[in-house]
Amino acid sequence: MITSKKIQALTGLSARTLRYYEQLGLIKPERDASSNYRVYRENDVTTLQQILIFKKMGFKLSVIKDILQNPEFNLDAALDLQMKMLNKQKQELEQVINNVKQTIQARKGEITMTDIEKFAGLKETLLQENEANYGDELRQKYGEATYEAAQEKFTKISESSYRGLVNNETKLIQNLHTVLLNPEKEAELKQDIFTEHQSWLKQLLPQYSTKIHLGIIQLYQCDSRFSAYYDKRAGVGATNLLVKICRSFLS
């Protein structure tokens, strides 16, 4: 039997994600008789390995569950499929690497890159980072359909819209930083801070609503990875400040 902490260290998954997988029925840890803590068997480790590989290949959790729980599931066939998919991902990664190389050459003046070439590689990198860092938690909070719709929307965003998104977030971070340094400016800037955050979410979420907005800021407080995003960029306390201001407008 393997403890929850060892599983987290082994897989890199958070306790929250492990509980989410349990709720979905993907894994079924037992309870230690003496401590009542969750403990995992070797087959749970194998299942988690399969889940992580399938997720790397772009499969949705609902599809992964269907695959793993299919009585006709064949591990050898699945591994063969995974190898084929990984080779496809290898090709995609090579495209990203090539894009980075071209960017370096362009900055040195050796070649000229079109705006389309520059932006295509950037979007792919950002999508992969978002999936790796926050995918499971966002799916758990909002559901597969909402998360995938947001990802799909981002893949279709134009370069000008993306630049507007970045500028909007830059203003938000600057205003948060200003209020942290000068608390007396909160009354003056709180409307701008809320509007900038709301606008940023509306550009990313096709199904934006007040409920979703409230859920997003709740995640900021509950998960250190989310809260670190603004605290690192605007200063310690920026996340709590943003949450407080948003709640004052949304409640």
Share of the chain above pLDDT 90, in %: 22
List pLDDT tens digits, range 40-64.
Answer: 888 888 889 888 888 877 777 887 8
Residue 124's pLDDT band, with cuts at 50, 70 and 90, is low
pLDDT at 222: 75
Cβ-contact 8, 18 below 8 angstroms: yes
Rg (CA), the chain: 21
pLDDT at 166: 79
pLDDT at 117: 62
pLDDT at 97: 77
**Does the structure show a pLDDT above 60 at 190?**
yes
pLDDT at 133: 66
**Does the structure show a pLDDT above 70 at 120?**
no
pLDDT at 174: 94
Residue 78: burial class (beta carbons within 10 Å; 0-12, 13-18, 19+) = middle
**Does the structure show a pLDDT above 80 at 17?**
yes
What is the overall mean pLDDT for the chain? 81
pLDDT at 121: 60
DSSP H helical segments within 108-237, as ranges? Answer: 115-142, 144-155, 159-181, 186-204, 210-222, 224-234
Ramachandran category for residue 237: left, alpha or beta (phi over 0 → left; psi -120 to 50 → alpha) = left
List pLDDT tens digits, range 30-39.
Answer: 888 888 888 8
pLDDT at 114: 60
Cα–Cα distance list, 12 to 4, 6, 93, 183 (Å): 11, 10, 22, 38
List pLDDT tens digits, range 194-245.
Answer: 999 998 888 777 778 898 888 888 878 777 777 788 898 899 999 999 999 9
Residue predicted with more confidence, 113 or 72: 72
pLDDT at 92: 65
**Nearest in space to 114 (alpha carbons), one of 159, 161, 60:** 159
- Give first-to-last CA distance, the chain, whole Å: 46
Least confident of 5-14, 79-88, 162-171: 79-88
**Does the structure show a pLDDT above 60 at 115?**
no
Least confident of 8-22, 66-80, 82-96, 180-194: 82-96
pLDDT at 216: 83
Give the mean pLDDT of 147-174.
78
**Does the structure show a pLDDT above 90 at 176?**
yes
